[in-house]
């Protein structure tokens, strides 16, 4: 092979011109060399074939990997789209939740406003009640003090009287003692005097004198004893009055408890006032800071602004969340993009390698072609040489063997040419496939960028769709407005026709311009207009704009007015309910009095005072006597009836105590029935009155 002449050999030795006129053995050698070369080329061709098959396998592998990657990218795309859908769903759900929250916030705001109003009302009512109660407390305290002073004075006077009577009694006892002593002395004197003069007649007169003196002394003693008895009676009466003082003391204790309750109420009022003062100071401080005229309005405005601020903050937080999620998605997408770009670069490098390899193979192919051309030329030359040889051999001998060899060589050459053509076509196909692959890679390289912006595009599309929807709605609204106008015009026409008809008939239908329905319609219309304006301004407002449209405040002011009106109506209704309640309770008391004959007075929560209309002093101008009433302990009403009403609870001056105690004993203690006792008492009092 080293000696073989070839353009692929560094320095080919072309045969000299004498070659063609060489010996046939040398020519045979040359042919052998050429055969060897053909063999070598065959080997090289087979090598290139095997290399091509290897390349094909590698290409297939690469292709499979690329398909796999494509699938993965498709899956990633799917997952991204599903994520986007999920994000959109979440966004819609969040918007819904936001709307619900807004509604709730509005409700809570309304509730808080109503509660605030209720509290203010309650505070006002409580302050009124407290003032009334404090006045009552003062009155009751002064009355109690007066009563207590009176009772103390009475007690003191009675005690002094008792003491005086006791002293008098003691004095009378000493006098009696003295008188007894004197009587004894006189008896002794009489005896001493009578004994010496027993038989004397003068002594009889003295005896009579002494007896009369003795009788006088005895009468005096009897008089003194009567006085003692009178004093004892007086003392017992005073004891009875002491019982009355005990009742008064009980009343005083009950009143003191009421006073305590009033004090606690007053303390509570003071506490509320202190809180109110604190709030007022706060309001004043705000008022001082901002310098508004109406602090309550300012406070409400601030409250509304706070709520709006909170809502705005919520929206901002939500948007921030969305932004952060979008950023995260962006980061993950950019990571994916980076990975994909890396893959693409690696693929590109592999493609370039393949391209290099293909160029090498192409070069090899061109070289092989050139060699083939060269070999063809050689074959042609050999043919010509052979032709010359045949010419020679025609002349010399017939060269059948060499012709056969040449034919065989020709056949081989043709087959080789066909193989080369097939290889060329295969190479073309390979090139085409490579181009396709590179185009695919280019498209794949483009995909991530598109994917990266697809969300924005979708959002833009959504915005566009929304704007289209808004446009459509706007058109529909305009259409409806036109229809409305048409209907109104028709209505006005029909109203005019109707009016004409009415005028023809001579009838007019009239209504007051300011009527309840028109008032309500006016309010509704105002609110509707305010809401429409607010809606338009909010739709026109950009997302980034931080200012709140004026129409929102206008609408809120209208709502506030409505709420105030409703509140006023509610307070009026409450007032009416109170009036109805007090009227009905009064009526109830009146009915009870008329039906059962007893007037009810609540002394405390647990004590009820019953005054019968048959009490002797009931119709007097000065009122009921202190003795004419029945106290019922309501706390013990459920327990044994006897503890609810006892003899000490019944003070009926007009009836003998024995009668009352008998009635009590029978009806309350024995039969355990207060109602029967009350009826029996009324009957007894009635009979007493009739008898009088």
Partner 1 sequence: MDSTRNSPNVVELRGSSRIVSDFFGKLQDPMGPFWIQSITDFFSEYSIHSILYQRGIYPAEDFQVRKKYGLNMMVSINEEVNAYVKKIMSQLQKWIKSGGLSKLVIVISSKDSGKVVERWQFDVKIAEKQETSHDQEEPRPKLKEEVQREIQTVIRQITAAVTFLPQLDNGDHSFNVLVYTDGESVVPNEWIDSDPKDVEGDNVENVNFRNFSTDKHKVGALVSYSLT
C-beta atoms surrounding 670 within 10 Å: 10
Q: How many angstroms separate the CA atoms of 548 and 193, rounded?
A: 132
List 21, 289, 510, 595, residue binding partner 1 (CB under 8 A): 510
* Residue 443-482 contact track with partner 1, rule CB under 8 A, x = bound: ----------------------------------------
C-beta atoms surrounding 318 within 10 Å: 15
Strand order across the 607-612 sheet: 598-602, 607-612, 629-633, 650-651
Binding of partner 1 by 395 (CB under 8 A): no
Per-residue DSSP letter, 14: P
Given CA atoms 343, 344, 347, 349 in this order, what sign does their dihedral have? negative
Decide whether 431 or 566 has the Cβ nearer to partner 1: 566
The footprint of partner 1 on this chain (CB under 8 A) covers a number of residues equal to 26
Q: How many angstroms separate the CA atoms of 169 and 224, rounded?
A: 9
List 289, 509, 543, 595, residue binding partner 1 (CB under 8 A): 509
> 234, 163 in Cβ contact below 8 A?
no
Q: Strands 607-612 and 650-651: what pairing? A: unpaired
Please report how close the Cβ of residue 132 comes to partner 1 at its closest, in angstroms: 23
Please report how close the Cβ of residue 506 comes to partner 1 at its closest, in angstroms: 4
Q: How many angstroms separate the CA atoms of 679 and 663, rounded?
A: 10
| Among the residue ranges 286-294, 420-428, 506-514, 662-670, the one whose residues contact partner 1 (CB under 8 A) | 506-514
**First CA to last CA distance, the chain:** 172
> 182, 217 in Cβ contact below 8 A?
yes
List 264, 518, 585, 662, residue binding partner 1 (CB under 8 A): 518
Please report how close the Cβ of residue 160 comes to partner 1 at its closest, in angstroms: 60
Decide whether 278 or 525 has the Cβ nearer to partner 1: 525
Could you give the 3-state DSSP secondary structure of residue 599?
strand
Question: What token pair was written down for 435?
Answer: 């181009």
List 43, 498, 588, 602, residue binding partner 1 (CB under 8 A): 498
Q: How many angstroms separate the CA atoms of 329 and 331, rounded?
A: 5
Q: How many angstroms separate the CA atoms of 132 and 126, rounded?
A: 9
Please report how close the Cβ of residue 512 comes to partner 1 at its closest, in angstroms: 6
| Among the residue ranges 224-232, 356-364, 515-523, 632-640, the one whose residues contact partner 1 (CB under 8 A) | 515-523
Please report how close the Cβ of residue 509 comes to partner 1 at its closest, in angstroms: 5
Binding of partner 1 by 497 (CB under 8 A): no
Binding of partner 1 by 506 (CB under 8 A): yes
Please report how close the Cβ of residue 504 comes to partner 1 at its closest, in angstroms: 9
Q: Binding to partner 1 (CB under 8 A): which residues in 538-597?
A: 573, 576-577, 580
Please report how close the Cβ of residue 484 comes to partner 1 at its closest, in angstroms: 15
Q: How many angstroms separate the CA atoms of 610 and 651, rounded?
A: 10
Binding of partner 1 by 521 (CB under 8 A): yes
List 289, 512, 595, 621, residue binding partner 1 (CB under 8 A): 512
Decide whether 21 or 509 has the Cβ nearer to partner 1: 509
**Comparing C-alpha atoms, which of 605, 572, 602 is closest to residue 588?**
602
List 306, 394, 520, 550, residue binding partner 1 (CB under 8 A): 520
List 515, 590, 643, 689, residue binding partner 1 (CB under 8 A): 515
Q: How many angstroms separate the CA atoms of 421 and 415, rounded?
A: 10
> 603, 609 in Cβ contact below 8 A?
yes
Please report how close the Cβ of residue 494 comes to partner 1 at its closest, in angstroms: 9
Q: How many angstroms separate the CA atoms of 135 and 142, rounded?
A: 10
Decide whether 398 or 501 has the Cβ nearer to partner 1: 501
List residues binding partner 1 (CB under 8 A): 495, 498-499, 502-503, 506-521, 524, 573, 576-577, 580
């Amino acid at each position: 092979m080293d000696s073989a002449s070839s353009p692929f050999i560094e320095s080919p030795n072309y045969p000299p011109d004498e070659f063609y006129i060489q010996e046939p053995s040398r020519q045979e050698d040359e042919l052998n060399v050429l055969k060897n070369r053909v063999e070598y080329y065959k080997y090289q061709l087979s090598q290139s074939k095997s290399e091509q098959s290897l390349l094909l396998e590698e290409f297939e592998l690469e292709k499979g990997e690329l398909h796999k990657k494509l699938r993965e990218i498709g899956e990633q795309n799917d997952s991204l789209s599903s994520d986007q859908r999920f994000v959109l769903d979440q966004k819609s759900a969040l918007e819904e939740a936001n709307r619900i929250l807004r509604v709730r916030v509005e409700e809570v705001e309304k509730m808080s406003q109503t509660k605030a109003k209720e509290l203010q009302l309650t505070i006002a009512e409580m302050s009124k009640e407290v003032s009334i109660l404090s006045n009552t407390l003062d009155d009751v305290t002064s009355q109690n003090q007066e009563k207590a002073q009176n009772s103390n004075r009475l007690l003191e006077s009675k005690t002094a009287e008792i003491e005086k009577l006791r002293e008098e009694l003691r004095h009378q006892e000493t006098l009696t003692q003295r008188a007894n002593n004197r009587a004894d002395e006189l008896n002794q004197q009489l005896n001493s005097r009578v004994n010496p003069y027993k038989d004397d007649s003068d002594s009889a007169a003295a005896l009579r004198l002494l007896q009369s003196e003795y009788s006088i002394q005895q009468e005096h003693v009897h008089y003194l004893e009567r006085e003692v008895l009178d004093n004892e009676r007086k003392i017992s009466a005073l004891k009875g009055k002491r019982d009355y003082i005990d009742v008064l003391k009980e009343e005083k204790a009950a009143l003191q408890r009421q006073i305590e309750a009033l004090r606690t109420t007053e303390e509570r009022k003071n506490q509320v006032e202190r809180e109110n003062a604190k709030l007022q100071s706060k309001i004043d401080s705000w008022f001082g800071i901002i310098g508004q005229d109406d602090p309550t309005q300012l406070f409400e405005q601030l409250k509304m602004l706070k709520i709006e601020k909170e809502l705005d903050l919520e929206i901002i937080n939500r948007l921030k969340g969305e932004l952060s999620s979008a950023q995260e998605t962006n980061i993950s997408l950019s990571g994916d993009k980076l990975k994909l770009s890396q893959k693409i670069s690696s693929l590109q490098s592999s493609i370039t390698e393949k391209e290099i390899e293909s160029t090498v193979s192409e070069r090899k192919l061109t070289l092989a072609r050139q060699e083939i051309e060269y070999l063809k030329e050689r074959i042609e030359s050999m043919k010509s040489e052979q032709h010359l040889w045949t010419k020679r051999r025609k002349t010399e001998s017939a060269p059948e063997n060499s012709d056969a060899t040449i034919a065989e060589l020709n056949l081989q050459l043709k087959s080789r040419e066909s193989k080369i053509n097939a290889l060329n076509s295969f190479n073309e196909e390979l090139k085409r496939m490579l181009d396709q692959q590179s185009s695919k890679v280019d498209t794949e390289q483009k995909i991530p960028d598109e994917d990266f912006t697809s969300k924005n595009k979708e959002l833009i599309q959504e915005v566009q769709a929304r704007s289209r929807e808004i446009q459509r709605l706007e058109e529909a609204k305009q259409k409806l407005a036109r229809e409305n106008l048409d209907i109104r015009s028709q209505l006005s026409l029909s109203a005019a026709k109707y009016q004409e008809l009415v005028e023809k008939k001579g009838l007019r239908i009239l209504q007051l311009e300011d009527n309840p329905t028109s008032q309500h319609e006016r309010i509704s219309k105002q609110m509707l207009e305010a809401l429409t304006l607010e809606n338009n301004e909010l739709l026109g407002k950009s997302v980034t704009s931080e200012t709140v449209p004026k129409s929102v405040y206008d609408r809120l002011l209208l709502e506030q007015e409505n709420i105030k009106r409703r509140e006023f109506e509610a307070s009026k209704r409450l007032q009416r309910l109170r009036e109805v309640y007090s009227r009905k309770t009064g009526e109830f008391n009146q009915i009870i009095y008329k039906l059962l004959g007893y007037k009810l007075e609540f002394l405390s929560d647990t004590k009820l005072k019953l005054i019968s209309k048959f009490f002797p002093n009931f119709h007097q101008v000065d009122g009921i006597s202190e003795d004419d009433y029945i106290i019922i302990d309501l706390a013990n009403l459920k327990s044994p009836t006897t503890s609810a009403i006892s003899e000490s609870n019944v003070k009926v001056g007009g009836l003998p105590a024995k009668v009352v105690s008998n009635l009590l004993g029978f009806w309350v203690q024995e039969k355990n029935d207060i109602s029967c006792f009350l009826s029996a008492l009324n009957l007894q009092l009635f009979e007493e009155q009739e008898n009088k």
